[in-house]
Structure 1
Amino acid sequence: MAWRLVYDTLFSRYLLFTNTVVSCGLEALGDLLVQKYEKNSEQEIDWARTKRMAVIGFILGPPEHYWFKFLDKRYPGRGVVSVFKKVTLDEVINGPACVIVFFLGMNKMSGMNWTDSYNDMKKKFWPVYKTELIVWPAAQVLNFFFVPPALRVTYISAVYLGWVMYLSYYQHKKS
């Protein structure tokens, strides 16, 4: 009974807050998992790196919340045409925007100047966006067909955990 009250409160009254916290937490968790994979047991966790990833989740969580509300309002329902429009818009507008924000944000928080940050983002954008076009359309079709609107950002955040692990690895791999 208490769990139901918490669930109803978080996913109705405080949905923006919940989506932001989930996004932030999963960014941090994804990075920690990658660091554990990358490092042997004697190496320390780079908490500053994890904090930067969490900040990206904090930055992207609210726009994602409103983005899904916009898509549901603009293209209501779960019909094939509606879902196709949502997925197409998500991949053409939201996908590239998130990749750009991720790389620019991570680079700036790491201390890069704008020119180097932009050049690094340009170098990484297309390989990552091509991978995104493989992963996210299928995830979004499932999202828009089956997931209730209040749980969309949480569902995407769960899928995003795997995606964040990929992004964290890609961002921090040695050239």
Structure 2
Amino acid sequence: MFKRYNQLVLKRPLVTNMVTTGILFGTGDCLAQKFFPEHENSTYDYQRSLRSIIYGTLIFAPMGDKWYKFINTVKSPIRSSNGNINKYLDVVTRVAGDQLVFAPFVGIPMYYTMMTFMEFSSNPLDDIKRKLNNSLWPTLKTNWLVWPAFQMLNFSLIPVQMRLLSVNVVSIGWNCYLSYIHNKK
């Protein structure tokens, strides 16, 4: 199965990443609804899961695909005569870019903005502003507890074409958390 996935991601990276990411975002939402329901008698919200799948497929996957290809080209401005040190510094620089640029200014705000927008409320701009004011900073702090260590491994050990998949696998838990925070009243 892994061999077939690798063939697909090399042949059709964007489509493969879109399908995979959509499924895994939906899985995270499903787990959030199952293990962290709003109320004791909450019924399963299929539209909520569909919004997660749409977001993962049409928004996050294309953005993530481009981001991981771009961040792979980033090099540390500090260079050494030792190639191993340069590789380590490049990984640290990529993790810093991912955590200090992408997460706070693109990834997390985009999630809350698009998920709130897809709820089709009567006042989406106010709802988006409220959601960002209430959730962005706590989510970012939690992000910094989870992602830097994983991204160090991801950027140093995983081939670039497989990085979005590795992030998506870990993101099942992360998407569960995001879904829980986004839907918490």
Say whether 1:52 aligns with 2:51: yes
Q: Deviations over 1:67-122 (max 9, x none)?
A: 11111123399821000110000011211211101111111111232122122212
When residues 95 and 5 of structure 1 are mapped into structure 2, their CA distance, relative to the original with a 3 A threshold, is closer
Query: Structure 2: where are the runs of 5+ without partners?
Result: 77-82
Matched with 2:61 is 61
User: 53-62 or 67-76, which moves further after superposition?
Assistant: 67-76
Select which of 82, 100, 114 maps to 2:90.
82
What is the CA–CA distance in structure 1 between the aligned matches of 2:7 and 2:157, rounded to whole Å? 22
What is the CA–CA distance in structure 1 between the aligned matches of 2:96 and 2:44, rounded to whole Å? 38
Matched with 1:160 is 171
When residues 38 and 131 of structure 1 are mapped into structure 2, their CA distance, relative to the original with a 3 A threshold, is closer
One-letter amino acid of the structure 1 residue matched with residue 154 of structure 2: N
Say whether 1:37 aligns with 2:35: yes
Select which of 117, 137, 140 maps to 2:148.
137
**Quick one: percent identity of the two aligned structures?**
30
Matched with 1:102 is 111
RMSD: 2.2
How many equivalent pairs are there? 172
User: Secondary structure, in 3 states, of the residue corresponding to 2:44?
Assistant: coil
One-letter amino acid of the structure 1 residue matched with residue 118 of structure 2: M
1:38 deviates by 3.0
Q: TM-score, normalised by structure 1?
A: 0.89
What is the CA–CA distance in structure 1 between the aligned matches of 2:23 and 2:154, rounded to whole Å? 20
1:127 deviates by 0.5
> Which protein has the bigger helix share?
1
User: Secondary structure, in 3 states, of the residue corresponding to 1:73?
Assistant: coil
Matched with 2:80 is none
Query: Structure 1: where are the runs of 5+ without partners?
Result: none
Q: TM-score, normalised by structure 2?
A: 0.85
